[in-house]
Amino acid sequence: MKTPDAYYAQARDMFFAAHADFQAALDELTENDARAANLSLRQLRAWHAERIYAAFLRQKNLDGIIFSIQLAEPDKAVAADAIEAYLKSHAESLGMTWEEFCIKNEL
C-alpha cells in the first residue's frame, strides 16, 4: 500500500493530466519567474501545482488525502484499507481511540 503522500502526489499528477489549461499555465512559468521567487523552475512549478490542486480540493470541500486515494487507487479494497489506515492515524494524532473517532465522525 502506498503512503498517503504518494497517493496525493499521484492524484495531483492525474488532476493536471486531466486539466490541460492548468498544466499549460504551469508550463508558461519561466526561469525568470523562478529567479524572481528565489526558487528553481522545478520548485516554482511544484509550488504552483500544489496551490492549484489544494484550491480545487477546498472549492469542492474535499479531504485531500481521501479524495486522492479514491482517485489514484483503482482497487477499491486497497483504497478502503488505505483510507481506514489514514483515518486511524488521524484519530491517533488527535489522541482518540478508533472507536471514539468513528462515533464522533459518524463512521
Percent with pLDDT over 70 in the chain: 100
46 contacts 8 by C-beta, under 8 angstroms: no
pLDDT tens, position by position, 21-50: 999 999 999 999 999 999 999 999 999 999
Give the global pTM: 0.83
Q: What is the reported pLDDT for 107?
A: 85
Distance CA 87, CA 92 (A): 9
